[in-house]
Structure 1
Amino acid sequence: MTATRDRSGRTATPRMARVINDRLALELLQRDGPLTAAQLRVLTGLSRPSVADLVERLQDAGLIAVVGEAGAERRGPNARLYGIVADRAYLAAVDVRTHRVAIEVADLLGRAVGSAALPVDPCSDPRRTVSRSVVLLERTAHDAGVAELHTIAVGAPGLVVPATGELSPSGALPAWHSALVTTLRKRFGVPVLLENEVNLAAVAEQRLGAVPDKDTFVLLWLGHGVGAAVILDGRLRRGASGGAGEIGFLPVPGTWQLPTATGCEGGFHSLASSGAVCALAREHGLPVAGDDAPAAEAVVGAARTAGKRGELFLDALAARIAVGAAAVCAVLDPGCVVLAGEVGRAGGDTLAERVGDRLARMSPLRTEVRAGKVGGSAVLRGAVLSAMDAAQEVLFSPGG
């Protein structure tokens, strides 16, 4: 058998080889499991004795267990099926918005075991909002039978400073967002990861949704506000200050002023935010029940079957979105743009095709436009995946 090598290409020591092989087996069991020992031999290329030792080590560590049998159709004893012990650790995801906090508790394989949501009045006492959010997470975990959380991931709007992992202070966002993260760290005493919510949506779309075949793409979030997540060569790119993708501030034609350092009015936000989408719908004679993201989602969804007026509205909306997409593509050339958020999800393939057509007329760069596939829980799903990856990095490592 070819000697196992580490990531630098050097021949690994026997101990390091075991670590590499164990991690490979765990990754295969997570992705393709449950698996038999024979299947692990085929997928890893290891010998029968090596796989037998590997399975024993992982069972002794409490990371895998026999979860069933395979091969009932053949003669002889059935083969044991091994799977990751999903209840070895539990995770929590928290989606923080101006008007709502959503929570999901999941096992080590990312399978949800509990969820809850809390409406937030922006005028309420921030300290009370933080306290109620923490209590809700504790109650959700308790009701799911979870005594202890291993890792918590939080998605929030705004800039997450790469050097500190903290939210950048901004007068446009509630101060209680940062206070909640700080309180979660103190109350639970476990790793609390913080990420921009649009970045988490991109993680979900790449792993579970529209772009599993792409390692380079840009996700445009079209909801109450607008934003982007940049994935280049399989890596999430945050920028020097965490501001990569803040396209609400992107100066674009068709607005009445330029954005400022303290406000994105006049930028791409003024063309594609929920308020702008609802105003555009009214201009086309479509009934709209407000100016928030749910209203924009409803009118875009209804426009797909609203006849000529709906078609003209979607054409006009696609032209606006294409302006922002063209600017992003001119700089990054991602080859693929995903339309997500309430508006992108409601528009589906109908809106994506229209944006793609207009983008092709505006840009010489060949760019595919796809509709997001992960539902309204994209941020939570991305947070669960991030927490799962972080927990597995610890538990699947020696001594974890």
Structure 2
Amino acid sequence: MTSTSASVAGRTASPSTARAINDRLALQLLKDKGPLTAGQLKSLTGLSRPTIADLVERLRQTGLVAVVGETGAERRGPNARVYGIVADSAHVAGVDVRTDSVAVCVADLLGRTLAEESLPVAPDTDPARTVAAAVALVERVAERAGAVRLHHIGIGVPGLIDPATGELNATSGLPSWHRELATALHGGLAAPVLLENEVNLAAVAEQRLGAARDRDTFVLLWLGHGVGAAVVLDRMLRRGASGGTGEIGFLPVPGTSGLPSATGCDGGFHSLVCSAAVCELAKEHGLTAAAGGAGGEARRGAGTEDAGAAEAVIRAALGAGERGEPFLDELAARIAVGVAAICAVLDPGCAVLGGEVGRAGGDALARRVAERVARLSPLRTRVCAGAVGGGGVLRGAVLTAMDAAQNELFGAA
């Protein structure tokens, strides 16, 4: 591309279309590699010097680009201006919705966190009051961040999102306020709302910021109170016909007492590796969260569905040395069954272990799982622990909202 004309689908683009293409290209380069000088933009785009000069001035007038400095102290002649994206030209919010809490992060157009806050939600709280409190929380965090308005809001929720409507499946058994919050935020803050499954958002964060940054194709296994997976193929998040891609909790596997059903995953992979199962397994091996000792219960008791208890007992096992190894080996063998099943169908090449269990187990658990997957499957699969941590869903929500805002402001790809 060497001038203001461009080829689109085999045709020569009009001058206005060519300008839009060039503007978007420059904005993407400034976002990914910037700040940049006009000369660097010329070199990276192949556009002529006059075209770059017109482009930069046009983008400055939109308020999306500004001079952020100068360079050239080591060269003769006048210094070159350095241009960068005006990060405060738009603000976005990410919201992580759990059954017992709501977390909010407001960021600028480049995804940099400006303010963050969370709100606990008691199980007996009136749904209408919870929705009102959550909307007020987003408004308060936006005000702290200096955001006059939010351009987009990304929300991560447990449960299936209907691809046809973009709404949370009403049969998911989640609190009613989960389904009402998106509408309330859209109405209260006058911003587009993007609803997405929480595991999918965790995968977005791992792909952009974490363990899967070098991967076009991978799966993220979410191991915690619930069990699920996110599937990324050729850098695209795959949701399935009904939004149910990755519902591996329902996967029939050996080692369970029965089979899952359409209404419950108790007989599936979920019953092997959910937090309650992890706590029960620890109890069988005589481990506690307190000090890796024998007997007792892990925090609130083995067999509970407390993901925090599962996380604590895994850390205790890792700190118990040889006494913790049998438990970790058996847990890894259970997880490997699910990983091998996914690999047999998708051959993703990489499986990231996330959720409270994956986070607590870290590299030590991932290494054990990888060894067992290698015995179960001929397909070479890297297994690694998630790197984003407990804020992965929130970060993924922010990134999703940021992408939507950039696509609108920068122009369609």
TM-score by length of 1: 0.96
| Structure 2 counterparts to residues 90-129 of structure 1, below 5 A | 90-129=91-130
Cα shift readout 1:189-209 (whole Å, capped 9, x = no counterpart): 211000001001111111111
Where does residue 353 of structure 2 map in the other structure?
339
CA distance in 1, matches of 2:384, 2:148: 41
Q: In 1, are the aligned partners of 2:67 and 2:82 still within 8 Å (CA)?
A: yes
**1:220 alignment partner in structure 2:** 221
Give the CA deviation at 1:268: 1.0
Does 1:289 pair with 2:290?
no
1:238-257 matches, within 5 Å, as 238-257=239-258
Q: Provide the rounded CA distance (Å) in 2 between the counterparts of 1:46 and 1:143.
A: 41
Q: 1:296 deviation in Å?
A: 1.4
SS of 1:161's partner is coil
Deviation (angstroms), 1:286? 1.4
For each residue in 1:337-376, what CA deviation from the matched residue of structure 2 results, as whole angstroms up to 9, or x when unmatched?
1111111112111111111110111111111112111021
Alpha-carbon shift at residue 386 of structure 1 (Å): 0.5
Asked if 1:381 is matched to 2:395, the reply is: yes
Shift of 1:143: 1.9
What does residue 321 of structure 1 align with? Answer: 335
Give the whole-Å Cα distance in 2 for the aligned partners of 1:122 and 1:309: 38
Question: Where in structure 1 are there 5+ consecutive unaligned residues?
Answer: none
Please state how far the C-alpha of 1:7 moved relative to its aligned partner: 5.7
Distance in 1 (alpha carbons) for counterparts of 2:54 and 2:193: 35
Distance 1:6 1:114 in 2: 43
CA–CA separation in structure 1 for the residues paired with 2:197 and 2:268: 20
What is the alpha-carbon distance in structure 1 between the residues aligned to residue 24 and residue 7 of structure 2? 12
* Structure-to-structure mapping, 1:55-66, within 5 angstroms: 55-66=56-67
Summarize deviations over 1:248-299 as a string: whole Å, max 9, x none: 1111111112112122111111111111111111222211213411221222
What does the per-residue CA deviation read over 1:220-271, in whole Å, with 9 as the maximum and x for residues that have no partner?
Answer: 0111111100111111110000000111111111111211212211111111
Is the Cα–Cα contact under 8 Å of residues 226 and 269 in structure 1 kept in the other structure? yes
2:182 aligns to what SS in structure 1? Answer: helix
Shift of residue 46 of structure 1?
1.3
**Residues in 1 aligned to 2:228 and 2:325: alpha-carbon distance in whole angstroms:** 25
1:368 aligns with 2:382: yes
Q: 1:8 offset after TM fit, Å? A: 3.0
Distance verdict in 2 for CA 1:63–1:265, change over 3 Å: same
Q: State the 1:13 CA deviation.
A: 2.4
Identity %: 69
Higher mean C-alpha displacement, 220-229 vs 260-269: 260-269
**SS of 1:370's equivalent?**
strand
Partner of 2:86: 85
Map 1:1-400; keep pairs closer than 5 Å: 5-6=6-7, 8-287=9-288, 288-290=298-300, 291=304, 292-397=306-411
**Which residue identity does 2:231 align to in structure 1?**
V
Note the C-alpha offset of 1:2: 5.1
Q: Distance in 2 between matches of 1:87 and 1:119?
A: 29
TM-superposition CA deviations, 1:307-365 (whole Å, max 9, x none): 11222211111101111111111111111111111111121111111111101111111
Q: Secondary structure at the match of 1:160?
A: coil
- Contact 2:96/2:157 (8 A) holds in 1: yes
CA distance in 2, matches of 1:239, 1:209: 24
Work out whether residues 6 and 20 of structure 1, in 8 Å CA contact, stay in contact via their aligned partners in 2: no
Counterpart of 2:246 in structure 1: which amino acid? G
* Contact 2:366–2:383 (8 Å) recurs in 1: yes
How far has the Cα of 1:149 moved from its partner?
0.8
What SS does structure 2 have at the residue aligned with 1:346?
Answer: helix
Matches of 2:57 and 2:373, distance apart in 1: 55
Structure 1 residue 5: Cα displacement: 4.2
Alpha-carbon separation, structure 2, partners of 1:178 and 1:5? 45
Distance in structure 1 (CA, Å) of the matches to 2:118 and 2:55 = 42
Distance in 1, matches of 2:34 and 2:172, equals 47
> Which ranges in structure 2 are unaligned for 5 or more consecutive residues?
289-297
Letter aligned with residue 385 of structure 1: L
C-alpha distance in structure 1 between counterparts of 2:138 and 2:271, whole Å: 35
Change (3 A) 1:356 1:395: same
Q: Counterparts of 1:109 and 1:59 in 2: how far apart (Å)? A: 17
Q: What number of residue pairs does the alignment pair up?
A: 398
- Secondary structure, counterpart of 2:319 in structure 1: coil
TM-score when scaled to structure 2? 0.93
Report the 3-state secondary structure (helix = DSSP H, G, I; strand = E; otherwise coil) of the residue aligned with 1:260: coil
Deviation at 1:151, TM superposition (A): 0.5
3-state SS, counterpart of residue 106 of structure 1: strand
Q: Which amino acid aligns with 1:341?
A: G
CA distance, structure 2, for counterparts of residue 164 and residue 200 of structure 1 = 18
Aligned-pair distance for 1:302?
2.9
Question: How big is each residue's C-alpha offset from its partner over 1:107-153, in whole Å with a ceiling of 9 and x where there is no partner?
Answer: 11111111110111122211111111111111111122222111101
